[in-house]
């Protein structure tokens, strides 16, 4: 993070009241701890920070932001704190005041920025290692003999298990169409983190469905409704396509949207046409 861009626009920050209790440690030293507070209490605590010098304001606001952001492993706490300090140092007095009043929203934007930078770095490092064969693809997942989903989906033909895990509205529509294809042998609603199949790369991607075709191909499918926030969709799509390229001709990856796919993803109608031919 030390060499990364620290420019963030806070113009769209919304208001929300949160408390950061300043626990006095010494004569002028305070340690921030977050919990809810009324407006009067917030004003009192913020006044303590704003009454200090510019240097102490930067230090205290940085400490508050770092406390609220919390652990961002594998990035160290010190590295995160130094990055936050670079951001706070560029803030004008009015921006610091606003940051104290609406800290939780500033935290969200800063955390999102750090996550985005981390993903960019991980993506490049992963691809560089993949290009020189320092990372290889190896099978490591086995479908269990039986599953016990916390909530079940409505029964559909060709399911691999007697009960599959629950699905959202668009997921159900996708699978209702897929099971009607003659080319499909079976399908499985992939389970959640720690239980299901994952594509292990610069992120851990747990796709929505595994679909086995009568031809022997296994198609991994991720569904994305058009109303969803697709911030991480491109990362998943790129990883899925890398996995497809390395896994060989008997494996396919699809990211399926209803009507507005990302570049490289599929519209539902187009995905169904391809699946019919697999």
pLDDT digits (tens, 9 = 90+) for 23-41: 444 444 444 555 555 667 6
- Residue 243 CA, distance from chain mean position: 19
CB atoms near residue 99 (< 10 Å) = 23
Instruction: Average the pLDDT over 258-264 and give the result.
Output: 91
Q: How confident is the model at residue 227 (pLDDT cuts 50, 70, 90)?
A: low
First to last CA, the chain: 44
Per-residue pLDDT, 195: 87
Per-residue pLDDT, 148: 84
Residue 160 has pLDDT above 60, yes or no: yes
Residue 169 has pLDDT above 70, yes or no: yes
Give ∠ CA 147-151-157 in degrees, rounded to 5: 70
Per-residue pLDDT, 46: 85
Q: How confident is the model at residue 182 (pLDDT cuts 50, 70, 90)?
A: very high
- Residue 209 CA, distance from chain mean position: 19
Largest CA distance in the chain: 76
What is the per-residue pLDDT across 49-98, written as a single tens digit (0 to 9) for each? 899 999 999 999 999 899 989 999 889 999 999 999 999 999 999 999 98
Instruction: Average the pLDDT over 192-207 and give the result.
Output: 91
CB 14, CB 101: distance < 8 Å = no
**Please, how many CA atoms are within 13 Å of residue 9, restricted to the half-sphere of its CB?**
2
Fold of 169-277: Trna Endonuclease; Chain: A, domain 1 (3.40.1350)
Q: Tell me the torsion sign for CA atoms 229, 235, 241, 243.
A: negative
More confident residue, 238 or 102: 238
Q: How confident is the model at residue 229 (pLDDT cuts 50, 70, 90)?
A: low
More confident residue, 177 or 153: 177
Per-residue pLDDT, 26: 46
Q: How far is CA 193 from CA 75, 200, 207, in A?
A: 22, 12, 10
Average pLDDT of the chain to the nearest whole number: 86
Domain map of the chain by residue range? Answer: 19-130, 169-277
How much is the pTM?
A: 0.75
Per-residue pLDDT, 130: 92
């Amino acid at each position: 993070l030390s060499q990364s861009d620290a420019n963030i626009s806070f113009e769209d920050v919304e208001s929300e009241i949160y408390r950061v209790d300043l626990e006095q440690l010494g004569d002028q030293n305070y340690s921030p701890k977050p919990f809810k507070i009324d407006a009067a209490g917030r004003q009192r605590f913020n006044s303590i920070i704003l009454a200090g010098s510019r240097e102490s304001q930067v230090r205290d606001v940085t400490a508050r932001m770092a406390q609220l952001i919390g652990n961002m492993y594998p990035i160290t706490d010190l590295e995160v704190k130094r990055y936050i300090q670079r951001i706070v140092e560029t803030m004008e007095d009015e921006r610091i005041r606003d940051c104290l009043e609406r800290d939780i929203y500033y935290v969200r934007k800063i955390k999102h920025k750090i996550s985005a930078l981390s993903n960019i770095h991980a993506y490049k490092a992963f691809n560089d290692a993949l290009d020189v064969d320092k990372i290889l693809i190896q099978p490591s997942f086995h479908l269990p003999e039986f599953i016990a989903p916390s909530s079940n989906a409505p029964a559909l033909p060709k399911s691999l298990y007697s009960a599959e895990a629950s699905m959202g509205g668009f997921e159900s529509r996708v699978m209702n169409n897929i099971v009607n294809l003659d080319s499909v042998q079976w399908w499985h609603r992939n389970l959640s983190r720690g239980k299901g199949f994952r594509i292990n790369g610069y992120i851990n991607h747990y796709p929505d469905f595994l679909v086995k075709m009568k031809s022997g191909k296994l198609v991994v499918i991720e569904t994305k409704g058009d109303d969803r926030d697709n911030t991480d969709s491109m990362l998943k799509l790129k990883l899925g396509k890398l996995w497809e390229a390395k896994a060989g001709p008997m494996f396919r990856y699809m990211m399926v949207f209803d009507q507005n796919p990302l570049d490289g993803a599929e519209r539902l109608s187009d995905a169904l046409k391809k699946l019919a031919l697999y």
